[in-house]
Amino acid sequence: MSSGRSYTTQTWLGFPDAKLCDSEAPDAYSSFLGGSPVFFGQHSCNPELLRCGRCKEYMQFVLQCYSPLEGDDTKERALYIWMCHNASCKRNPEGVRCLRGERLLKNTEQETKESPQKTKDLSTNVAQKPTFVNPFSAPSSNATEFANPFCSSSTQQLSNPFLSSTSQKTPFSQIAAKHATKKDPVVVHETQSAKRTRFTNSFTYPEEIPQFPGTYIAFDKEVIPIKQQGKSKKEKQLMLDATADPSDWGQEGYEKSPAVFEKAFRQFTERIAFNPQQCVRYERGGAALLSSFRDQLGSSIRSALNGNKNPFPNCRHCNSPRVFELQLVPQTISLLDDMVSEWTSVLVATCAMDCLPSVDQDMCGFVDEWVGIQFE
């Protein structure tokens, strides 16, 4: 969407708002950095999930992002991120964790109890599996493809994913369902309740976990200048060249040397600079803004996209593909007053089917999601 001299992308940006304080304490529907999480139910997630994979100490809480799925009124949903603050773990990918927390609403559970269990043959009634497209190539009109964050789409509806909505936009979880073959039809239950387990253990969030300073986050759509939007389109090919074989550089070797011209990082910093206060980038089913193509994570993602493959591992609970959802950018470090971290970007990808294998007595559950880090 464009108006006058600016262009609105499909990405929601999180900006710092007021500081957390006792007089205006956050709730489960708040989005904020630092402090302690506020879960939907009366109980915490399992504290053992909050230990660093390297040093085994508790990680510090970084982000709570209230993120309901548009058009889905059957559940409440949020993402939570922790990071290890030990200096020896600051560049270790096992020192970060993201949990997706959900609470099933009572009317959903009541419908499950009152209605008989039904099945469907997905070979005759299923949404199309998405095609994973390189976001740096030309845009496509296929609605199931990952959108190029640098190009506009007149067919995409702009709405706030952080507020309740009556929109009829199809959730990406439906788009991501797999095709079933005629030879091997897949039969599933209309509800996951039959497969969802109940656990009776109750947990309390560890009070001894140190806290970062807390700041509320307010979301708004990303707006960039029209001239930059046009430049971004031209840079798609330049960004593809950023990791080309050096033998193809010819007389441009100096310009394209890693030390002088890492195009992904240049594009990253320029894009961030147009909204320098942003700390979170959110676009479920969109594309991350990578800070490098030459590090392990950036190279892996770019290679997968060039091969038209999903760059993220499948959900370990239901084996559905994961989709990009959220990204932390460097301003987060400043807001947390974090003197240890050295990352440039933290990416989160979540289950496209938004599965919830187990719930507690409050009908709340937590799922461990994929996190990737790019370092300075």
Instruction: Quote the CA–CA distance of 180 and 373 in Å, as a whole number.
Output: 34
Instruction: Quote the CA–CA distance of 183 and 180 in Å, as a whole number.
Output: 9
Q: Is pTM, for the whole model, over 0.85?
A: no
pLDDT at 136: 41
Instruction: Quote the CA–CA distance of 246 and 252 in Å, as a whole number.
Output: 9
Q: Which residues contact 47 (CB under 8 A, 6 or more apart)?
A: 58, 203, 204, 205, 206
The amino acid present at 1, given as its one-letter code, is: M
Structure tokens at 340: 């240890």
For residue 284, give Cα distances in angstroms to 30, 89, 266, 288. Answer: 18, 29, 24, 10
pLDDT at 122: 31
CA-angle at 100, arms to 194 and 284, nearest 5°: 105
Residues in the chain: 376
Instruction: Quote the CA–CA distance of 15 and 94 in Å, as a whole number.
Output: 27
Structure tokens at 302: 């770019």
pLDDT at 255: 40
Closest CA to 156 of 319, 286, 300: 286
Q: Which residue has the tokens 């507020």?
A: 163
One digit per residue, the tens of pLDDT, for the chain of length 376 reads: 656 688 999 999 999 999 998 778 999 999 999 999 999 999 999 999 999 999 999 999 999 999 999 999 999 999 999 999 999 998 998 999 999 999 999 765 554 444 444 333 333 333 344 444 444 443 333 333 434 333 333 333 444 556 543 333 333 333 333 333 333 333 333 344 446 788 778 899 999 999 999 999 999 999 998 875 555 555 544 444 443 433 343 333 334 445 434 789 999 999 999 999 999 999 999 999 999 999 999 999 999 999 999 999 999 999 999 999 999 999 999 999 999 999 999 999 999 999 999 999 999 999 999 999 999 8
Q: Which residues contact 264 (CB under 8 A, 6 or more apart)?
A: 239, 242, 290, 291, 292, 293, 294, 298
pLDDT at 81: 99
